[in-house]
Amino acid sequence: MNLIKFSSLVFLALALAACGQKGPKMPDCSSPEAAKFVTSYVADQIIGDGANDERAQDLIKRLTVTDIKTAPQSSGGSTGVRCNANVAIAYPGDFGGKIFAIFTTPSLMNGLKDHLGIKYGAFYGPATYKQLHKLFNANINQVETTTLNNEQVREIANKTLQKNIDTVLTIDNKIDVTYTISPAEGSGENTAISVKSQINDIENYDQNVLVSKLLGNLQ
C-alpha cells in the first residue's frame, strides 16, 4: 500500500514576544512542540494500522525524533517550514531475547502461530505469523549445508537469526517522516501553529507495525 499517510494537527505554543516584534515567530524543525505532535501522529498511525495492543501513551514514550533537517521547501508559496526526520522506536531490552527464543524453539513457534490464529482469525493470523517468520529468518535457508554437520548448521542459523533481530530492532527501527510547521496569526502571547506530518518509507513503516504487533502479543 504505497499511500502517503498524513495528518494535520493544530496546537497552541506559548511564545515569548520579543520587544517590538510583530507577527508569529517562524517555527523551528527541532522544536519540542513539533516533536511532541510528530511522535503522537506516528504512534496513532502504528496503533491504528494493527498494533492495537499498544497504548498510545506508552508507545509515545519509546519514540524519539532524530536526524532532524530542514527539507527543501515545496513549490506553491507555502509560508511554513518543511522538515525531514526519523522517528526512532526504542523496543524493550528483553524483546530481542524473546524473539530469539521463539524462533529457535518449535513449541514456542507453534504456540505463537496458534495464538495469532485465535486472535486475528483463520486468514490474518497465519498471514501475520508468515510475515514474522520471513522477517526474522531472512537468509537462513541460504546456508550451504552439504559440508556441515547439524550442529554447525544450527550455529550458523542462530547467528543469522540474531543478526536479523538486531537489524530489525536497532537499525530498521527508524521511520522516515516529513512534517511542515506553519505559523498562523495569533494574539497576545499565544501563537497558533499547524503541523502537517507524513510517513515516507511505507515499507519500513509497515515492518515496524508488524514488529509492534508482535511486541503487543508478547506482553
The residue extents of the domains of the chain are 1-90+175-201+215-219, 92-172
Contacts of 186 (CB under 8 A, 6+ apart): 24, 192
For 97-114, write each residue's pLDDT tens digit: 999 999 999 999 999 999
pLDDT at 17 over 50: no
Residue 23 has pLDDT above 60, yes or no: no
Alpha helices in 49-149 (DSSP H): 56-61, 95-102, 106-136
* Residue 19 binned pLDDT confidence (cut-offs 50, 70, 90): very low
Q: Which residue has the higher pLDDT, 55 or 119?
A: 119
Q: Crossing angle of helices 202-218/95-102, nearest 10°?
A: 80
Cell numbers at 142, concatenated: 541460504
Residue range 59-82, pLDDT digits in tens = 999 999 999 998 887 665 566 889
Q: How far is CA 63 from CA 7, 33, 182, in A?
A: 17, 14, 23
- Residue 52's φ and ψ, nearest 5 degrees, are -80, 5
pLDDT at 16: 33
Pairing relationship of beta strands 5-14 and 190-199 according to DSSP bridges: antiparallel
Residues 6+ apart with CB under 8 A from 152: none
